Amino acid sequence: MENLGSLAILLALCVALYATFACVVGRLKRKPFLIVSGQRAVYSLWVLITLASGILVYSLLTGDFRFSYVAEHSNRTMPLLYKFAAWWGGQEGSLLFWSFLLSTYAAVVVFTNRRKHRDMMPWVIAVLTTIQAFFLILNNFIANPFRMLAVDKLITAVPDGNGLSPLLQYPAMAIHPPMLYLGYVGFAVPFAFAIGSLITRQPGDSWIHTTRRWTLVTWLFQSTGVMLGAAWAYHVLGWGGYWGWDPVENASLLPWLSGTAFLHSVMMQEKKGMMKVWNIVLISTTFFLCILGTFLTRSGVVQSVHAFARSEIGKYFVTFMAVGIAATIYLILDRLDYLKSESQLESVISRESSFLFNNLILLASCFAVLWGTLFPVISEAVSGNKISLDPDWYNRLMVPIGLFLLFLTGVGPLFAWRKTSADSLRRNFQWPGIASLVLVIALFAAGIRHFYALISFGFCLFVALTIFIEFYKGAHSIAVKNSMNLARATVELTHRNTRRYGGYLVHMGIVLMFIGFTGHAFNQAETKELNIGDSMQVGAYQLKMTDLKQGDFPADPKPGESPLYQWHRATMDVYKGGNLLGQLEPEKRFYLASRQGTSEVGVRVRPNEDLYLNFGGMSDDNQRAVIQAYVFPLVSWIWIGGLVLIGGTFVCLVPSKIKMQYARTEVVGMVTSHATLQK
């Protein structure tokens, strides 16, 4: 079994190199049989990597502790779900998982484009298989998941493994990493098409049309992964936050920011033939930021609760990025004549300029996060001291940038193409602007003095109203013309132009998330040591400890097996205004195999605020429980906004009704015309 796994990834490396060679040589020498051979090699590549992945997963599920990877990341008492999740829970397995996803993507690309883009596809395949070869080199020679445990050169096995990191033994963590990987790996496809377009000197936009939907799906995966990561941090780490500007958190945000800029920018190229250089640069930046994120997670150059242990793998990623970035820059500079814009910016007050400002601000935020993430590495290289920037540094910089982006989210769609008249500005902005100003004045009169919070609430209402008005105007017109109710007309309106109105839903999701972010300004916290019968106060809540227990899980392990973890649990009665609201049971767990602790927080979720309790541990004399209590206003709106954002993205992926009818009309017209000719 172990030999078959190692052989599979070694053969996969050979096939990836052959596919690159066959496609490049076949294209340059005009030998179609070589190109076809290279395309078929991609399918073989998928089969080999799937076989290797299946062997590793089977070994994890069955507890084959002869494998070093299985012994390190699985054990007998771990639930089946987490045994499967151990596939991507460690360095070697996660690299194999990356290779599996990339081979799957490559196979789908080859199959769906088997009769299209004949000039470009050999180069697209060559780029994808070159990336694939890099990761397979790592899996074969640097981080082999099929390495065996041996004593005196004899293969041996340990009685039980260390188990997956306790922090990863949470249901969302069985989904969060795959979602991020689907995003990270997926951006390789539009990057490959962009490079293929540059190499073949194509002046057209065929690569944009081919990859737009693909990029949107990839962005959806990335967005879902980021949201699940925030939810995991909130519910597992015990500190009550959902975003701490951790280097690995930042690594997932960076390609999301540049990918968002790319999705906006491609509309300019499709409609106006503008921003062609921008689009090549943006998708290339997004791909290399994905590689950078993978490098930061695996190299150990930054300290993070999310990162793997320090390893020597980082220098290989640095080399790969350096060569790839240099080659990309050369191609862009050499093909500038093919990337000239077909139109010019006519007015600062236009939709074109709003897209440009949006891209500039997104890239500015991306650079700020990148600088803050890499600053410890840079400072250590320059001065010998590793200096990390705290969350306050990021917040001081990113809050105003985020508010400006929020404002552009509202005003951008209201601008007309080419030039917006003063009358149009007054008509579109008057009522949302007045309503936002009234809200800010009302909140100030109610006692809110936090400047950024007031601005954020005002902008949120402004953007929400502009979106509502856009839906209402279109739906009301359809309702009047077709004698239907407004709800049905809204669905009809959205179906007619899913890309536009799905985008509005995505923007509404961003607004709801900003409402949740703004609640952070009003957080409250209290920490106290309690014994049974003691009470504490946080905000308007009174908390009383009524019980304190400890035990093992499972309570009765199977013969020869140890408990998975030990636990302490506090039972807290929650009162507000003298009324009992219910109970929360925060818990502390200590996993015996890995010697690590985790928190199971108690959360009372409400739309206006969360009451969040964390069991911080036992006091020094081991007699009292340390309870950390927080009140987080509006935090639930972050998760609601995330769901709306995801739903809006799905709407964007649905084909528009008008385009579908046009396509059917075209087909019917062709058939009718053909029938006429036959007569």
Assess whether pLDDT exceeds 90 at residue 284: yes
Peptide bond into 586 cis (omega under 30): no
Assess whether pLDDT exceeds 80 at residue 557: no
Assess whether pLDDT exceeds 80 at residue 491: yes
What number is the average pLDDT over the span 442-450? 94
What number is the average pLDDT over the span 75-81? 87
Assess whether pLDDT exceeds 90 at residue 657: no
pLDDT at residue 305, as a whole number: 55
When the pLDDT of each residue in the chain is averaged and rounded to a whole number, the result is 88
Instruction: Give burial (CB, 10 Å; 0-12/13-18/19+) of 338.
Output: middle
Q: How is residue 620 annotated by DSSP?
A: T
Instruction: Give burial (CB, 10 Å; 0-12/13-18/19+) of 392.
Output: exposed
pLDDT per residue as tens digits for the range 87-121:
998 899 999 999 999 999 999 999 999 888 888 99
User: What are the start-end ranges of the H helices in 595-634?
Assistant: none
Looking at the chain, the whole-number percentage of residues with pLDDT higher than 90 is 62
Looking at the chain, the whole-number percentage of residues with pLDDT higher than 70 is 93
Using CA atoms, how far apart are residues 276 and 269, in angstroms rounded to an integer? 6
Using CA atoms, how far apart are residues 360 and 536, in angstroms rounded to an integer? 48
Q: What is the CA angle 149-153-158, rounded to 5? A: 30
Using CA atoms, how far apart are residues 145 and 72, in angstroms rounded to an integer? 11
- Say which range, 66-75, 335-344, 461-470, has the weakest mean pLDDT: 335-344
pLDDT at residue 662, as a whole number: 43
Helix (H, G, I), strand (E, B), or coil: what is residue 149? coil
pLDDT at residue 379, as a whole number: 87
User: What are the start-end ranges of the H helices in 446-557?
Assistant: 451-482, 486-496, 498-518
pLDDT per residue as tens digits for the range 219-255:
999 999 999 999 988 988 888 889 989 888 899 999 9
Q: What is the DSSP string of 18-29?
A: HHHHHHHHHHHT
Assess whether pLDDT exceeds 90 at residue 483: no
Assess whether pLDDT exceeds 70 at residue 205: yes
**Res. 366 pLDDT band, cuts 50 70 90:** very high
pLDDT at residue 672, as a whole number: 44
CA-CA-CA-CA torsion sign (223, 227, 229, 230): positive
**Res. 358 pLDDT band, cuts 50 70 90:** confident
Using CA atoms, how far apart are residues 350 and 344, in angstroms rounded to an integer? 12
> Rg for the chain (alpha carbons), in Å?
28
Using CA atoms, how far apart are residues 136 and 382, in angstroms rounded to an integer? 34
287, 320, 301: which is closest to 138 by C-alpha? 320
**Res. 160 pLDDT band, cuts 50 70 90:** confident
Helix (H, G, I), strand (E, B), or coil: what is residue 587? strand
**Res. 168 pLDDT band, cuts 50 70 90:** confident
Instruction: Write the CB contacts of 641 (distance below 8 Å, at least 6 apart in sequence).
Output: 508, 509, 510, 511, 512, 513, 514, 515, 516
Instruction: Give burial (CB, 10 Å; 0-12/13-18/19+) of 253.
Output: buried
Assess whether pLDDT exceeds 80 at residue 417: no
What number is the average pLDDT over the span 176-187? 93
**Res. 163 pLDDT band, cuts 50 70 90:** confident
Assess whether pLDDT exceeds 50 at residue 147: yes
Helix (H, G, I), strand (E, B), or coil: what is residue 550? strand
One-letter amino acid for residue 225 of the chain: G
pLDDT at residue 203, as a whole number: 66
Cβ(502)–Cβ(651) below 8 Å: yes
**Rounded (10°) angle between helices 391-411 and 498-518:** 140
**Res. 620 pLDDT band, cuts 50 70 90:** confident
> Comparing 299 with 60, which gets the higher pLDDT?
60
Helix (H, G, I), strand (E, B), or coil: what is residue 609? strand
Using CA atoms, how far apart are residues 263 and 260, in angstroms rounded to an integer? 5
Residues composing the chain: 679
pLDDT at residue 2, as a whole number: 67
What number is the average pLDDT over the span 409-414? 80
pLDDT at residue 306, as a whole number: 53
Cβ(132)–Cβ(41) below 8 Å: no
Helix (H, G, I), strand (E, B), or coil: what is residue 392? helix
pLDDT at residue 78, as a whole number: 86
Assess whether pLDDT exceeds 50 at residue 651: yes
Assess whether pLDDT exceeds 80 at residue 348: no
pLDDT at residue 405, as a whole number: 92
- Say which range, 226-240, 468-482, 546-560, 651-665, has the weakest mean pLDDT: 651-665
What number is the average pLDDT over the span 500-513? 95
The reply to whether the predicted model has a pTM over 0.95 is no
- Say which range, 14-28, 164-178, 254-268, 620-634, has the weakest mean pLDDT: 164-178
pLDDT at residue 678, as a whole number: 41
Assess whether pLDDT exceeds 90 at residue 146: yes
Using CA atoms, how far apart are residues 374 and 323, in angstroms rounded to an integer? 20
Using CA atoms, how far apart are residues 470 and 476, in angstroms rounded to an integer? 10
**Res. 1 pLDDT band, cuts 50 70 90:** low
Which residue shows structure tokens 């049905």? 488
455, 452, 445, 268: which is closest to 350 by C-alpha? 268
What number is the average pLDDT over the span 429-441? 93
pLDDT at residue 145, as a whole number: 95
What number is the average pLDDT over the span 20-48? 95
- Say which range, 171-175, 215-219, 519-523, 584-588, has the weakest mean pLDDT: 171-175
Write phi, then psi, for 591 (nearest 5 degrees).
-85, 125
Q: What is the DSSP string of 453-475?
A: HHHHHHHHHHHHHHHHHHHHHHH
Q: What is the DSSP string of 366-381?
A: HHHHHHHHHHHHHHHH
Instruction: Write the CB contacts of 162 (distance below 8 Å, at least 6 apart in sequence).
Output: 71, 72, 73, 75, 593, 594
Cβ(144)–Cβ(6) below 8 Å: yes
Q: Which range in 236-245, 383-392, 582-591 is most confidently predicted, on average pLDDT?
A: 582-591
pLDDT per residue as tens digits for the range 131-142:
999 999 999 999
What number is the average pLDDT over the span 3-24? 96
pLDDT at residue 196, as a whole number: 94
Assess whether pLDDT exceeds 50 at residue 675: no
**Rounded (10°) angle between helices 188-199 and 91-112:** 50
Assess whether pLDDT exceeds 90 at residue 291: yes
pLDDT at residue 211, as a whole number: 86
3-state secondary structure 326-344: HHHHHHHHHCHHHHCCCCC
Q: How is residue 67 annotated by DSSP?
A: B
* End-to-end Cα, the chain, rounded Å: 66
What number is the average pLDDT over the span 483-497? 92
Instruction: Write the CB contacts of 146 (distance below 8 Å, at least 6 apart in sequence).
Output: 2, 5, 6, 9, 52, 55, 56, 67, 69
Assess whether pLDDT exceeds 50 at residue 664: no
pLDDT at residue 468, as a whole number: 94
Assess whether pLDDT exceeds 50 at residue 667: no
Instruction: Write the CB contacts of 233 (distance below 8 Å, at least 6 apart in sequence).
Output: 241, 242, 243, 244, 249
**Res. 162 pLDDT band, cuts 50 70 90:** confident
Antiparallel, parallel or unpaired: β 565-576 and 150-151 = unpaired
